[in-house]
Structure 1
Amino acid sequence: MASKGDLTKARLAESMLELIQTSGYSGTGLNAVMEHAAAPRGSVYFHYPDGKEGIGVAAVELAAKQFEGLIREAAETAGGAAGAARITIETLAGIVHESGYRLGCPVSVVTLEMGTESDRLREACASAFESWIAPTAGLLEAEGLNADDAQSLATVVISMIEGSIIVSRAMRSTAPLSSTADVVADLIAQRSAAAGATR
């Protein structure tokens, strides 16, 4: 069972994650995080001695785990890489739409805002993207692609998803995500079929 301190630490990271999605990293102050998390002032530096950057890293890591879990759950439901990609993108489209286009990918937000300002945050974002590329590549390898091709295609897929989230928020429409779902699913199906034909 988690201790009170562990719950407070987790709550701070969760609050930081939510606020990054709506206000950006630069627009999120520690006071806002403490208020959102209903956490006492002293708890921030107790759990995160490095302050905002430390909570930011924890928020990025939390986002990474959530999206990785979404990919793995979609894979179990779909039973194939193309279907998993479509389910993942459709789920994200639902989240973006239901939030009134206020929520996007916090990892992209932190990358764009802090990628040249903080190596620690940039590295956390890079690790997050890698944690999504890896299971996607694993699904593609299971369908016959060699490791290099699977890694390359998985990188393209994650990059397309990230870009379409940004465009969907700007246009206040899920159409870019829907188009990405169609193109990604077709691309994966074509590459998987080609890999199967050469085996």
Structure 2
Amino acid sequence: MKMDTKSLIIDIATTLFQKKGYLGVGLNEILKECNMSKGSLYHHFPNGKEELLIACLHSLDETITTHMKEIFRDYPTTQIATQAMIEKLVIKFEQEGMIIGYTISSIVSEMGALSEAVRNACALSFTRIQEIYLNKLVEDGFSEEKAHSISLMLTASIEGGIMLCLAKKTSEPLKIISQGLPNLFREL
């Protein structure tokens, strides 16, 4: 299936943003990787790089939440589903040395330098991720209040774990988080 130009730009820019961060990627680098002119890029994203970033965040959000929903549908409890998801992240990291396509944190680590529109796109993505955990936790029999607390802790732990894996160049942080999940579910 041939990808349309706008989708191709989003795909390439998302990968670049994840590898280098928003501020670490210049417009010229995106243009070079996409093999296109500024005019072509501005045709699809009239407001420039920030509009492209928001499109990348929406695309990444859709990929992450779709993937999570599939995993959470296939496993009986939140704990088992989360451990399976972390295992997939560990394998991906150990094979590729990166975790591209499963986190928005690497793109938005410069949150203070970004606009309110970008912050809102990120907040929406984190909320959608949290809701997947929350819904599965409620299915598991947790109260809404406990499910909210656990879903926040899972979202923060896994996003933070991914960042630690990338920074330390080891999958150990995610492995430790996965091992600690039974304690998290018992304590709350």
- TM-score of the alignment, normalized to the shorter chain, above 0.5: yes
Structure with bigger helix share is 1
CA shift in 2, pair 1:31/1:114, >3 Å:
same
**Which residue of 91, 94, 97 corresponds with 2:91?**
94
Shift, 1:58, TM fit: 0.9
Task: Check the 8 A contact 1:64/1:128 in 2, yes or no.
Answer: yes
Q: Which moved more, 1:28-37 or 1:119-128?
A: 28-37
Partner of 2:151: 154
**Which residue of 161, 165, 177 corresponds with 2:162?**
165
Partner of 2:125: 128
What percent of counterpart residues are identical? 26
Task: Check the 8 A contact 1:107/1:125 in 2, yes or no.
Answer: yes
C-alpha distance in structure 1 between counterparts of 2:156 and 2:177, whole Å: 11
Structure 2: which 5+ runs fail to align? none
Q: Which moved more, 1:51-60 or 1:37-46?
A: 37-46
Deviations 1:34-55 (A, max 9, x none): 2223344322111111100011
C-alpha distance in structure 2 between counterparts of 1:56 and 1:142, whole Å: 35
Structure 1: which 5+ runs fail to align? 195-199
C-alpha distance in structure 1 between counterparts of 2:72 and 2:140, whole Å: 12
Partner of 1:76: 73
Amino acid at match of 2:87: E
Structure 1 SS opposite 2:97:
coil
Amino acid at match of 1:46: H
Shift, 1:115, TM fit: 3.5
| Number of aligned residues | 188
Partner of 1:111: 108
Task: Check the 8 A contact 1:17/1:63 in 2, yes or no.
Answer: yes
CA RMSD of aligned residues (A): 2.2
Structure 2 SS opposite 1:28:
coil
Structure 1 SS opposite 2:110:
helix
Q: Give the TM-score, by structure 2 length.
A: 0.89
Partner of 1:37: 34
C-alpha distance in structure 2 between counterparts of 1:186 and 1:139, whole Å: 18
C-alpha distance in structure 1 between counterparts of 2:117 and 2:123, whole Å: 10
Deviations 1:155-190 (A, max 9, x none): 1101000111111122211111111112124423x2
Task: Check the 8 A contact 1:60/1:125 in 2, yes or no.
Answer: yes
Q: Give the TM-score, by structure 1 length.
A: 0.85
Task: Check the 8 A contact 2:72/2:81 in 1, yes or no.
Answer: yes
Shift, 1:149, TM fit: 1.7
- Runs of 4 or more, structure 1, over 4 Å off, are 102-106
Deviations 1:25-71 (A, max 9, x none): 11111222222233443221111111000110111111111111221
